Structure 1
Amino acid sequence: MTQQMRNQINVQDLKPDQLASVKDQLSQELTILVPLTWSLYVPGKMNDTSRVMLDVGTGYLIDQPASTAKKLLNQKALLLSVNLDQFQSTIETKQENLLLENELIQIKLNSSNNSNK
């Protein structure tokens, strides 16, 4: 038997209180990706899951409780969603205007070609 197989535990054999203990241990140590640069991330472990460093833009980080950071990120996601909807609406309007302008140009070209004949 290999060392890895001997270290594995069948979770079906554990009692509920043991499962709760394992769950607490796993939730206390989360594997995350830590940004080194804008495009380079390395794996890391998060020992204290109650507090996080939150990037608020332009290189500024703030230390926040996880619950507060989650609220801030949800607000940011909602704002981005609203902005995306507005942007999509603007794009659709501009596409409609472009189609109308192309139709007008085509009509004018056709009428000038007909008048030249």
Structure 2
Amino acid sequence: MATPSGQTVNVHDLDVPQLADVRKQLEDELAHLTNSFAQLNQAQAKFRACIENVAEISPNNAGKTILVPLTNSLYVPGKLADPENVIVDVGTGYYVEKTRTQATAHYTAKVAYLRSNLATLEETLQKKRDNLNYVTNILQGKLQAQAQAKA
């Protein structure tokens, strides 16, 4: 295990309170990473939904009534004037007009980017879980040794 100064410390050399602190830190990191993983999964699902929504638009839909989102929960009726072009949210409140093909490519790239980040994050989560299990086993062993020494 590495310390903030970059030195490596053998966890077997730590006493029970120090091991408990390391365990708590690993649990906190694991909770944060798990939350981040869930948020990335949600974002990926939203981008996939965008791909499906763009695919549903066709030239036959011109002039049809649609619901236009103003916020996450507020929609107003509108008419589809140009089915070949869509407005794409490119982040931080900026919107760009793109063709349906460009919009699909944009969202497909976002999904692929998130997929690679999710794979990396999943590996990190597994390493953190393994570290937590390792530290927990050492802590339990030391606690049992202390209990036997007292008995």
Indicate whether the TM-score tops 0.5.
yes
Structure 1 residue runs of 4+, over 4 Å off? 29-33
List runs of 5+ in structure 2 lacking aligned partners: 1-57
Matched positions, count: 93
2:110 pairs with one of 73, 76, 98 = 76
In structure 1, how many angstroms separate the alpha carbons of the residues matched to 2:111 and 2:140?
Answer: 43
List runs of 5+ in structure 1 lacking aligned partners: 1-22
In structure 2, how many angstroms separate the alpha carbons of the residues matched to 1:88 and 1:31?
Answer: 42
Q: TM-score, normalised by structure 2?
A: 0.54
Shift of 1:99: 0.8
1:94 equivalenced with 2:109 (yes/no): no
- Give 2:112's aligned amino acid: L
CA RMSD for the aligned pairs? Answer: 2.2
Shift of 1:33: 4.5
| Same amino acid, percent of matched pairs | 32
| RCO higher in structure (CA 8 A, sep ≥6) | 2
1:110 equivalenced with 2:149 (yes/no): no
Shift of 1:80: 0.8
Higher strand share: 1
Match of 2:70 in 1: 36
Residues 44 and 97 (structure 1), Cα distance of their counterparts in 2 relative to 1, 3 Å cut: farther
